[in-house]
Structure 1
Amino acid sequence: MICNRRWVLFRSLLVPRASFDQLNAFVSVAEQGSFSKAAIKLKKDRSTLHRQVSDLEIDWGITLFERNGKAPKLTEQGESLLRASKLIIYQMNALESATESLFLGDKTRISICHDSSIPSSAILQIDKECRSQHPMTVINWLSRPRQQALDLLVKGEVDFCITLNQGELHPERGVSFINLGYAEFNYYVHKNSPLANRQQLSMPELQLHRQYVLEDLEQSNFGQQTLISSQTSTVSDPKSLFRLLELEGFSLLPTSMVEESNEDFLSLDLDFALQTGRLGYVLLYPSSAVKKSWQQDIINAVGDWFRETCSILS
């Protein structure tokens, strides 16, 4: 027994204590409950797995499985090492995925600016789609006013901006753009508002009530055209705006944002508007001769959400 321990110690000084294949074999046999099923999962010969697990037991100097019965059974020592082995395999797979992503030209970090009228459901869907394609890339979502977002884009501090279309034919120098479509906007009130369920509201009637305006919408080229009331309050945060609407007033908001919040807000029936309004959005990104694959994936993910949303509301 002493000689065997000395041999294990001597062997451990010459070779690695455990290889990735050995750990993978150990974990697979433990999870599948048999060498045969583990071999099918790993697409290897059963004899290969037997050898890898046996070599691991020799390297570690412990018995991982009891082999007396028909199926291998984890020993107490094997059970105690299973979780750590799984973690090492997970980390190795993550490392390989990260190196592969870098080899293919992925960025380690992508920053996307958006204005406050972009609903959280859009961010969640776009983020999920992008991360499924680039799992090792960190994606930052930054709510910024349009001009600040554009400044960050020109400086190279962010990679994309999703913002309201300013109606300009030519973008800023060094910036490319994609028109994303026209999202539906409506004037909304809380269900307990005296304006709720009123038919054919006139502009003079509406002007008697406070109007809350999203700051990013107000600062757009179309912002002034949306102002009706002489009593206007600018709000940066959509959540705060919804809370204020519970007290009084009305606001022009994206339909998609209101629908994801709750059912406590109703659109107004106006005698001066025959149909709902629409405002356009644009995706801005640095100009380059050739788009990188990760850039195209972001563009596709953003475009998917806007195509889906604008078509549903059309």
Structure 2
Amino acid sequence: MITLEQLSCFKAVYELSSYSKAARKTNKTRATVRERVKALEDVLGFDLFEVIGKTLFPTAQAEHLYARADNLTRQAKEFYSVALSTFSTGITSIVLHHDDLIPLCLLSDIDDAIEREFPHISINWLQRDRESSLKDIESGNALFSIMPSIGKIYPSTKVGVVNLGTYQYAPYTSVTSNIPKHPVDLTELTMEDFLVTENAVLNEMRYANISNRKHLISNNDMLMHKIQKKGWTLLSIANAQDYVDAGKLRTIKMKETLGSLRQEMVLFYGLHSEMDAARSRIIDLAKECAVNFAKGPYA
């Protein structure tokens, strides 16, 4: 019977061309490494290495088997790591909610940070409105939610809240739009078709009813497709920048500001998460990423 220990020893000897070096790498004695390789050779029925002069060389059979041995040992290590991670964290997947205006670069940084520290946890990002998101957090179906901060931000005694700072947003339209390129006033802009996502309405964003010619869009992907053909919308500068750089959108210049053009954002989380080390750490990672975001140009 072939064991993983035999394959690991074979792999080390193959890579280092030395039983002594392989012993140091695997934290075994030279004799043990040689015994494991010899046992593997006995099972296979052929030699894996030959000594020419004072140098150890792999046989043709060893050359053929090395890649498979390497793959098997890697899979075994991954299996052990996954099993250990699952046992130590108690979780194998998490659900995170976000609003469609939250800067994607921030969400991506959070995702990367979680994956680096918890590589075997599946991360599921779902776009949700505030009300449905808070219900999922209270029930434990979502770990946290990143939303714009408006109105009552302490919705339940079961939900905690962390201020993540602000993000900038601005009015945008297509580069081929009839909306003037010179500064326009708000009254003039409200006469144009205004595209707004369903989330903005459900979350009662203060700009959701800024125009009488409002067009409700189900999601941000549809919004970005439609805004290149007609109307105008409000986007976080971070999310719009790629479209501006690609020559698809332009910023609308205003004679007056639409509020502060900065929106606070908060992280809602279930207070029960504070009792779990892994979940608490994931929330801390999100807060750390928000601190770094605040130092950038889009905050």
- TM range, smaller chain: 0.7 to 0.9
Task: Please give the residue correspondences for 1:69-148 in structure 2 after superposition, counting only pairs within 5 Å.
Answer: 69-148=53-132
Name the CA distance, whole Å, in 2 between partners of 1:239 and 1:169. Answer: 27
- CA displacement 1:158-183 (0-9 Å, x = unmatched): 22222222331523231122121111
Q: Which of 181, 187, 196 is the equivalent residue of 2:171?
A: 187
Separation in structure 1 between the aligned mates of residue 46 and residue 266 of structure 2, nearest angstrom = 62
- 1:110 deviation in Å? 1.0
Contact 1:117 1:214 in 2 (8 A): no
State which of 27, 38, 52 in structure 1 corresponds to 2:22. Answer: 38
State the 1:39 CA deviation: 3.9
Between 280-289 and 32-41, the greater mean CA deviation after superposition = 32-41
What amino acid does structure 2 have at the position aligned with 1:185? Y
SS in 1 for 2:136: helix
Who is 2:236 aligned against?
254
Greater CA deviation, 229-238 or 299-308? 299-308
* Aligned counterpart, 1:171: 155
Q: Distance in 2 between matches of 1:62 and 1:143?
A: 58
| Structure 1 residue 20 displacement after superposition | 2.7
User: 2:221 is matched with which residue?
Assistant: 239
Matched residues in 2 for 1:131 and 1:69: separation? 49
Q: Give, in whole Å, the separation in 2 of the partners of 1:158 and 1:169.
A: 18
What is the Cα deviation at residue 254 of structure 1?
0.8
Moved more, 74-83 or 179-188: 74-83
1:179, 1:94 → 2: CA distance? 37
**2:209 aligned partner, one-letter code:** L
Query: How big is the shift at 1:210?
Result: 0.8
The separation in 2 between residues aligned to 1:127 and 1:70, in whole angstroms, is 51
Structure 2 counterpart of 1:214, one-letter code: T
**Would you say 1:150 and 2:134 are equivalent positions?**
yes
* 1:19 paired to 2:13: no
- Change in CA separation of 1:291 and 1:183 when aligned onto 2, cut-off 3 Å: farther
Q: Is the 8 A contact 1:213 1:251 kept in 2?
A: yes
Q: Distance in 2 between matches of 1:228 and 1:308?
A: 32
The aligned amino acid for 2:215 is S
Which amino acid letter does the alignment assign opposite residue 263 of structure 2?
Answer: L
CA distance in structure 1 between the partners assigned to 2:122 and 2:251 by the alignment: 38
What amino acid maps onto 2:87 in structure 1? Answer: F
Aligned to 2:196: 213
Once the two structures are superposed, residues 22-43 of structure 1 have per-residue CA deviations (whole angstroms, 9 ceiling, x without a partner) of 2112112223344454344435
Rg larger in structure = 1
Query: TM-score, normalized by length of structure 2?
Result: 0.87
Give the distance between the partners of 1:230 and 1:33, measured in 2 at CA.
Answer: 77
Q: What RMSD, in angstroms, separates the aligned Cα atoms of the two structures?
A: 2.5
Deviation digits for residues 44-63 of structure 1, max 9, x if unmatched? 44444333222221233321
Count of residues in correspondence between the two structures: 296
